[in-house]
Amino acid sequence: MNLIAIDIGNTNIGIGVFLKGKEQFVKSVPGENTAELIEILKSTWKMIPVSENSKEGKRDGVFVASSVKFEWFEKVRDIVRQNFGEKVLQVGVDIPFPIELAIDEKNKVGSDRILAASAAYAVTEHAVVVADFGTAVTIDLVDDRGVFCGGVIFPGFEMSANALHNHTAQLPKVTVTKPKWPFGKNTVDAINAWLYYSAISSLQEIVRRYAETLGAWPQTIITGSGAKLIKDDCEFVDNYVPDLVIKGIALAYSKFIESRE
């Protein structure tokens, strides 16, 4: 299985390369930077081997995407078609999700949430919480049977910082960093401390509530750009796994191929 996995988020687009089912590397680019996106897709497609039976030098690989932003999916689809003559398969449309969903409005839940959760459960094989700290924060639960139960959504660091700045007269825009003190000695540090510690405490409280529902404490995995910042202060978290959605895309395609054999 040779695969270019594309995670189209609200801010960034992640691109992962899998050769014979093994992850080679993952790189993330700002979704607005079309030129860089094209260059990365070109370089990654060159890594896909040419099919042994192809007389025209056709590569033996496929593009598979998860998308929460339709206009960016269209952009990626057009880039792939124009530059490589290939189609982009979309998880949730062309490829089924690799996990059962026990939620309302199944067609409206973000594919990134489902794929991150399915990738986590494929490893743990037990109840697991997946918290993705991106533009928005999602904290989702998969039960012991491997069923996606749903979760919570709240603003990420950047969105929260913008809200404070844009809806007040004097509060500055803050870029979140690890605080030196739990209390801020100035306005910037005070906002920063709230943003940082509220994310950690929200995660811990939500996982506790999930545990009460399950009757046992689930494994907890964090991912996303913001997770790297807080992971060292999350003693209750079992693992930090970058690019979990990319791994979920590969899992979905692998199961799809198996189902057709």
Active site residues: 112
Task: Please enumerate in sequence order all residues whose Cβ is within 8 A of that of 51, keeping only pairs 6 or more positions apart, or say none.
Answer: 58, 59, 60
Q: Which two tokens stand for residue 186?
A: 């100035």
51 contacts 59 by C-beta, under 8 angstroms: yes
Distance CA 149, CA 18 (A): 29
Residue count of the chain: 261
Q: Is 241 exposed, middle or buried (0-12, 13-18, 19+ CB in 10 A)?
A: middle
- φ, ψ of residue 96 to 5 degrees: the values are -70, 155
The single-letter code of the amino acid at 200 is I
Distance CA 163, CA 213 (A): 33
**DSSP-derived 3-state class of residue 26:** strand
**Positive or negative: CA dihedral 177, 134, 208, 127:** negative
**Distance of CA 254 to CAs 2, 122, 136, 247, 248, Å?**
10, 12, 28, 11, 10
